[in-house]
Amino acid sequence: MTKTILACISIFVAVVAGASALAKPADGKKGQEQVVTMQVTSEGFVPAQVKVKAGQPVKLIVTRKTDVTCAKEIVIKDFGINEPLPLNQPVEIRFTPTKPGQVRYACAMDMIAGVIIVE
């Protein structure tokens, strides 16, 4: 796929997802990868809150769509994740939440943030 197609798909998913998204495994079975797509825009991380299931692997796909932001990387301290977010390039981040609760993510400066709700 070209970068343009990926960008269009990311925008479509963000619009459909609205302000909150629930990641669902393809067939609903435990252990299936949950795919969550988000963007960094002038509004911050969009969506800023997502839901996933505990015990199931998560693939978070983040695309930074603006250069006017301090969110040029994503930090998920609970999982030791600190990934750069190059402009207009989807970045895949994988982790498996093991227990219910909230997992905070933020930019490297800890100014722009969001939350992953683990059910």
53-73 pLDDT, tens digit per residue, is: 999 999 999 999 999 999 999
Q: In which domain, by residue range, is 101 found?
A: 3-118
Name the one residue in this structure whose structure tokens are 């970045």: 91
Q: In the chain, at which residue ranges do the beta strands (DSSP E only) sit?
A: 20-22, 34-41, 44-46, 49-52, 58-64, 73-76, 81-84, 91-95, 101-106, 113-118
CB 45 within 8 A of CB 114: yes
CATH number for 94 = 2.60.40.420
Low-confidence ranges of the chain (pLDDT < 50): 1-28
For position 30, what pLDDT does the model report?
58
Give me the pLDDT at residue 2, please.
44
pLDDT of residue 12: 39
Note the pTM of the prediction, 2 decimals: 0.74
**pLDDT computed for residue 29 by the predictor:** 53
The angle at the Cα of 109, spanning 14 to 52, to the nearest 5 degrees, equals: 40
Q: Cα–Cα distance between 89 and 65 in angstroms, integer?
A: 8
**What is the SS3 string spanning 71-98?**
CCEEEEHHHCEEEECCECCCEEEEECCC
Domain count within the chain: 1
